[in-house]
A and B are shown apart, each in its own frame.
Chain A
């Protein structure tokens, strides 16, 4: 279905900006699906008879809380580390999309909105790397 009317163009967010952000999000989704599916499939094939109770009592393990253990896990192709990589990819895509918006606002000379988007990106990074460890 097509409309005779055309959408008014936003100089700050031209169609190419929308397309770029959509591509970023789509790439994140595809990457997450591939990594999470591969990791989950590998985990289940390695532990075909594992019970839910065993998983719950073990907990997330050091891979989640220790960056060093996570990197070693990835090197060893640990299925849990591969799933985590997918989750981290989605978190990274979320932060990058805020940074992309800040860039678009700055390019469109919208200083207030550019500053807001940049502040949000900083808050997200502070939340992940500063607030979370302190709260824990």
Chain B
């Protein structure tokens, strides 16, 4: 295949991945990595490298819009990064130790099962537009992990307060490890923590996750760059495409209902769970 043909194909695929990723708080790697490997025959390492750059592109692009619209909670996002960044560094380092280990496929299958198990919980909240405004735990109250956003769809200000912030930190640490270790799943675990542990509105969860995934990706990107896994000619169309797609997605999200965003997220969660289990099973 000629390079320019692949570049055009990757660009178009990445536009779709970026659009979806910016809506549900993921980096687009859930779509891009398997498409690059299965349809275009790109080695997995280069696909992970390009996906990491696409995460950075999605986070920066959608972050610009979500921060402007105050859908991103800067306070909560910055607080949780203290768990995700060390997790990502640990995960990236562990990659080297586990690269020839039989443990990786088992861990992938376990991660897939964890994602599957979290589906019913997300579905149980499918009728909930805004979470109840709880009192918040001690950490949340001390650090004022609360905020509000103007919901364009409901045409009113929605207030929220973080709950269970310590357990959210634990999930975020796990999200960082998974991100560094496998190059996937970081966004999905972040949204789960923001939505299920902290009990933030779904749109705030996906917007804040989008803001955070870029920082987590940056923590592990050095390893990919130095390891020769970022091929600029492949990473460029993927990142340009996700930038354009996530710009479109970030324009759409504020006008969607939290319920619809949750449905989209659940669909992606199921796909990612299957993808992760299959990846693990193939490596066994």
Are A133 and B86 in contact, CB atoms less than 8 angstroms apart? no
Q: Does A74 contact B (CB under 8 A)?
A: no
Within 8 A of A (CB), among B64-105: 64-65, 67-68, 70, 74-75, 78-79, 81-82, 85-86, 88-89, 92-93, 95-96
Q: A119-B82, A131-B222 are in contact. Are A28 and B232 (CB under 8 A)?
A: no
Per DSSP, chain A at the interface is helix
Task: Report A-chain residues with C-beta under 8 Å of the C-beta of B46.
Answer: 56
Alpha-carbon distance between A107 and B235 when the two chains are bound, in angstroms: 38
Q: Does A19 contact B (CB under 8 A)?
A: yes
Are B239 and A43 in contact, CB atoms less than 8 angstroms apart? no
Task: Report B-chain residues with C-beta under 8 Å of the C-beta of A83.
Answer: 232-233, 235-236
Q: Does A33 contact B (CB under 8 A)?
A: yes
Most buried by A among B56, B222, B235: B222
Q: Does A52 contact B (CB under 8 A)?
A: yes
Chain B residue at minimal CB-CB distance from A88: B225
Q: Can you list 9 A-B pairs with a CB-CB distance of less than 8 A?
A: A3-B156, A7-B157, A17-B74, A22-B64, A90-B60, A94-B214, A112-B142, A120-B82, A124-B218
Are B232 and A60 in contact, CB atoms less than 8 angstroms apart? yes
Q: Does B147 contact A (CB under 8 A)?
A: yes
Are A36 and B225 in contact, CB atoms less than 8 angstroms apart? no
Q: Does B215 contact A (CB under 8 A)?
A: yes
Alpha-carbon distance between A105 and B236 when the two chains are bound, in angstroms: 34
- Count CB-based A-B contacts (< 8 Å): 215
Q: Does B251 contact A (CB under 8 A)?
A: no
| Chain B contact residues, CB within 8 Å of chain A | 1-4, 6-7, 40-43, 46, 53, 56-57, 59-61, 63-65, 67-68, 70, 74-75, 78-79, 81-82, 85-86, 88-89, 92-93, 95-96, 142-144, 147-150, 152, 155-157, 159, 214-215, 218-223, 225-237, 239-240, 243, 247
Q: A10-B75, A60-B231, A128-B221 are in contact. Are A112 and B143 (CB under 8 A)?
A: yes
Within 8 A of B (CB), among A41-56: 43-44, 47-52, 54-56
CB distance from A24 to the nearest CB of B (A): 8
Alpha-carbon distance between A2 and B155 when the two chains are bound, in angstroms: 7
